[in-house]
Structure 1
């Protein structure tokens, strides 16, 4: 296999970067923490989690119970015509894993002549409704929806086995996307392969089941996305919208193309049609009508394609040409496609950089972009990856992502913008982008100026080797900036600093991005101090070592009952031992939900002695109405004024005095709480970032 010069250069930059970062980590973190980081990089990439499919036991009929509500949010409508064994399997699956939402289950019997009329009335909670005459699938569905009582209707074939969580996943789309009108499930064959993840309609009205026979976990098919249509075998629609449309169009009786027509009707009314891959439903395709389009009911598929094409002639001119092989690039060709390259997917509950990136992605999607995220470690990040997929982000991972170079060779040309995160990754990827995505705008997201942080850490430590390493980082970062079209910084202070070192670099400010939560509990209902920050980040470790050793004992002498809540993963044993020796220090480690600490603890402390960028811990506290006491380094570039929206102190005695003063003064506390909220709203809210995002990614 031949390797291009771009690939060789990228590999060389990666190896050199890993070696240099390992040396830097040894000096800053010690050998144990460095070894842990090395093993993370060396281990094989983790693929998506294994999901066992649920199949109900095939047993003789015995009565069982279905979920039932007299005031359902969702009505599950199942049209049936014979095939009682399939119907029972479907109902048993609903009984075994009932949805969280209030629902009702209606079976609409379209004239069955097998055991259906005898057995189904004995299923507790089931609304069993018999039609007077057989009218076919379309009439049975329309009849069933007309009898339903829910705000939403889920149409479900009787030859399906819905998997746990299928209904809640469909409903979740409507709750998150107000413009959703029709949401379809991902259909699987009984062996687990994809039957379809939404459908594609070509310009002649013919269809393509997207993903057929592929893996359901393949990144091409695993993200929430708009689709041309979805199978009526498992879909959810708002009842009000269904009624306005008039249900399935009777011109397609008895069956076929009615679901496709419904999707086009939904879009014509200004609503979206989406496929939800987290809603998985096994479908025994062809149970009712077979698969031969030359005979039986299935033959109507050929006739109805013509009827559909005649009805939607104008709209079909916008569809993909016949003969096109569908791909993510082709399906999103009408959108601005943006690629983000980072080592891992963001985990917004763990660090401020991840929260900023997660909210940036949200804003890109809100502006109409299709976002693709490629973690260079190639790992599936579990719930973090799934959270992005549920936003509509196309996330790639092993085993479907073999190498960054190979992936870019195939996908690179489709991107208008590529954003690389942190200088060492950008240095590795730039040769590949210059070869495989030459027309894309290259954006370098610094997260913070690494060389500035490293230089300050070297000054605190008095370490000559660390100072030399900071200079190498400076040269690396500046070289990357020179080769990129836009460099993202998070603070005015960093921009001013960079203007001295690289005045010709095109810079945009996109700072931390926060939702403004509000004031939280009042002064009298709050108590204690809190620090938030992961301890694999050297500035946070140094901050807590200094605070617990030199500052907190002074605070305890004035406030004997106050406690320090220290939240963050990766605390080394030395810090834990130090905390154990100091009364009042509580080390919580990683906390899944830190909002209660933001809303109920009286003061946040940010005792950072070195660092760079904007401190998410301060933004997060202020967004919850929690005043902050920080060092000059901590509040740098955050538009904070001492005594107006924060208190600032740098030596141990002054820092302790500031905390004690604020802790005991409700008037000062209230003034800083209100000032902090105003600061976040003006400088660090989602709205504040929109203009910079437009210039960077859309102009």
Structure 2
């Protein structure tokens, strides 16, 4: 979200950040960037007055739940505003994978097509003028499996600074780094599962080959299930919230991420590359992140091989440096914000230039706006009336 905000600020857009969520103590200080922060209510017509007075030219929804709640109100009160959905990742993909994993089933696209969550999220994508899709895998999934017109989809990964020689000179060397690391928010179920997998399936194999090795587990909202895995004797250390995530990743020698389900592109693995730290992950972890470029470490499904390759990466300096360089290549080729940021803004301008035609061609989107998944609209109105009584 901050990366998108930066792109709009560079174009001198006036930005209003409206949210129904309570502002947490660790929230970014958007007002310091010249952004207006506004509190809005769910299921309340006060939003109609707010958006009518604001009259934005672009409205960007943070995930499909926000589009469901406010999209129809924007369409009614600001019909000429471009509506953009920032999917972040495809939630239905992550949830369906999780459900199949719990049932012991292999992942199938047929399960996605049967998913009620998919129907909701796809409907949101269709209603918008443009949906931002963060991974190449998810772009292909939407086009090939769900047959969504590419005209309303836009591939936009993380927008990052290129890694240059000035940065790499500041990185710690192979010999200066120590320990393995896992980092991730524990509100996020894939992260909880990955740490449990690391402890129960992988870590003992690594410790057998590296008896003095330690893995440090960082992340906000550590729960009891994760805390009880702490075992200093085994080198499995639960550290909890990291005050400076990049600093702990820069100090680590290898990032471990045995993710068994999920979606989108993984911030922890991007951060590893940006910090010059090689990683070992699963196919789900690396999915849609590196195109045809070689990974900055290893992608491995078999836990015994995962452990062996982890040890190899941790002990072989030549391999470690080579993997670090591959990470730089991925960041500089795929995530260069100077290149992809310009293309993103140009795409918005292109749609703005002929918005009526763009919408006319999106027949299914028109259909959904016409009948508007009216259940969403009238459920909201019913809740609003109920709240007043």
Task: Please state how far the C-alpha of 1:463 moved relative to its aligned partner.
Answer: 7.2
Change in 2 beyond 3 A, CA 1:697/1:643: closer
Task: Please state how far the C-alpha of 1:476 moved relative to its aligned partner.
Answer: 0.2
> Which of 147, 154, 160 is the aligned partner of 1:508?
154
Gaps of 5+ in 1: 1-356
Q: Distance in 2 between matches of 1:513 and 1:552?
A: 34
Task: Please state how far the C-alpha of 1:516 moved relative to its aligned partner.
Answer: 4.7
Task: Quote the residue 2:235 is aligned against.
Answer: 584
Task: Quote the residue 1:384 is aligned against.
Answer: 27
> Which of 71, 75, 82 is the aligned partner of 1:434?
75
Task: Quote the residue 1:453 is aligned against.
Answer: 94
Alignment of 1:406 onto 2:46: yes
> Which of 275, 279, 284 is the aligned partner of 1:628?
279
| CA-to-aligned-CA distance 1:297-350 (integer Å, 9 cap, x gap) | xxxxxxxxxxxxxxxxxxxxxxxxxxxxxxxxxxxxxxxxxxxxxxxxxxxxxx
Task: Quote the residue 1:616 is aligned against.
Answer: 267
| CA-to-aligned-CA distance 1:469-499 (integer Å, 9 cap, x gap) | 9801100011111111001100111100110
> Which of 342, 348, 351 is the aligned partner of 1:691?
342
Task: Please state how far the C-alpha of 1:515 moved relative to its aligned partner.
Answer: 3.6
Alignment of 1:649 onto 2:300: yes
Alignment of 1:99-498 (within 5 A): 357-377=1-21, 379-382=22-25, 384-385=27-28, 387-397=29-39, 405-412=45-52, 414-462=55-103, 471-498=115-142
Secondary structure of 2:182's counterpart equals strand
Task: Quote the residue 1:660 is aligned against.
Answer: 311
Alignment of 1:638 onto 2:281: no
Structure 1 consecutive aligned stretches of length 4 or more whose deviation exceeds 4 Å: 401-404, 466-470, 640-644
Task: Quote the residue 1:601 is aligned against.
Answer: 252
Alignment of 1:559 onto 2:210: yes
Gaps of 5+ in 2: 351-389
Q: Distance in 2 between matches of 1:547 and 1:381?
A: 30
User: Which has more strand, going by share of residues?
Assistant: 1
- Please say if residues 51 and 74 of structure 2, whose CA atoms lie closer than 8 Å, have aligned partners that are also in contact: no
| CA-to-aligned-CA distance 1:40-64 (integer Å, 9 cap, x gap) | xxxxxxxxxxxxxxxxxxxxxxxxx
Larger radius of gyration: 1
Change in 2 beyond 3 A, CA 1:582/1:367: farther
Change in 2 beyond 3 A, CA 1:470/1:404: farther
Q: Distance in 2 between matches of 1:493 and 1:455?
A: 15
Alignment of 1:539 onto 2:190: yes
User: Which has more helix, going by share of residues?
Assistant: 2
Secondary structure of 1:586's counterpart equals strand
Q: How many residues align?
A: 338
Secondary structure of 1:661's counterpart equals helix
TM-score (norm 1): 0.46
Secondary structure of 2:132's counterpart equals strand
Q: Distance in 2 between matches of 1:469 and 1:550?
A: 32
Secondary structure of 1:442's counterpart equals strand
Q: Distance in 2 between matches of 1:606 and 1:695?
A: 36
Q: Distance in 1 between matches of 2:210 and 2:291?
A: 26
- Please say if residues 7 and 341 of structure 2, whose CA atoms lie closer than 8 Å, have aligned partners that are also in contact: yes
